[in-house]
């Protein structure tokens, strides 16, 4: 029987372009940001990532995962949203997703925006210049190899 290999990417990124932001509530702004960064899928009702990111953006100091969880619950209740996705394990998973794309960092057992920087700085320095550049560089290597293999020039 032939062995089937599973291709696991070393890194991946999803970026989406939406209309210019204007006259959005804070939650809707964070929701569009999550959609733009590929943290949320269009039409997805499981959107606790929005509340987790908003809590982190609004925090004046570092937060534990328990503090993030309680603030997310409070935020969802005050917004009249269902309390879906608020299990401690899911909140930690969402924090890990934000860490994986370099938006937040963990210092000891607390979380904060990466280097206490602005989102623009975080995006430009960590996602655009480092993460995205390395992905684009590798795609170009595959393109060059494909050109060698298929273009007989």
Tokens of 33: 């940001």
Q: What is the pLDDT of residue 84?
A: 86
The structural domains of the chain, with segments of one domain joined by +, span 26-115, 117-153
Query: For 26-115, CATH number?
Result: 1.10.10.10
Whether the CB-CB separation of 47 and 30 falls below 8 Å is answered with: no
Residue where the block lists tokens 């089937």: 4
Mean per-residue pLDDT, 128-143: 94
pLDDT at 32 over 90: yes
The pTM score is 0.87
**Which tokens go with 70?**
């309680």
pLDDT range class, residue 3, cuts 50, 70, 90: low
Q: Which of 53, 2, 13, 41 is nearest to 133 (CA)?
A: 13
Kindly state the tokens that stand for 121. Answer: 């700085």
Rounded-to-integer distance, Cα 114 and Cα 40, Å: 20
d(CA 101, CA 37): 9
**The dihedral of CA 61, 62, 66, 69: what is its sign?**
positive
Beta strands 104-107 and 110-113: pairing type? antiparallel
Give the Cα separation of 142 and 94 in Å (integer): 32
The gap from C-alpha 11 to its chain's centroid, in whole angstroms, comes to: 13
Cβ-based burial of 125 (10 A; exposed 0-12, middle 13-18, buried ≥19): middle
Check residue 12 and give its pLDDT. Answer: 87
Is 2 a residue whose pLDDT tops 80?
A: no
């Amino acid at each position: 029987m032939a062995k089937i290999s599973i291709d696991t990417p070393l890194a991946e990124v999803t970026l989406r372009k939406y209309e210019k932001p204007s006259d959005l509530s804070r939650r809707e702004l964070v929701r569009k940001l999550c959609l733009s960064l590929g943290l949320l899928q269009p039409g997805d009702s499981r959107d606790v990532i929005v509340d987790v990111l908003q809590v982190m953006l609004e925090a004046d100091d570092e937060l534990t995962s328990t503090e993030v969880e309680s603030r997310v619950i409070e935020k969802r209740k005050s917004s009249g949203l269902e309390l879906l996705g608020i299990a401690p394990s899911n909140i930690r998973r969402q924090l890990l997703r934000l860490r994986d794309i370099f938006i937040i960092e963990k210092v000891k057992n607390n979380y904060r925006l990466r280097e206490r920087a602005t989102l623009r700085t975080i995006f430009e320095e960590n996602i655009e210049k480092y993460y995205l550049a390395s992905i684009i560089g590798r795609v170009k290597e595959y393109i060059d190899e494909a050109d060698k293999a298929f273009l007989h020039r």
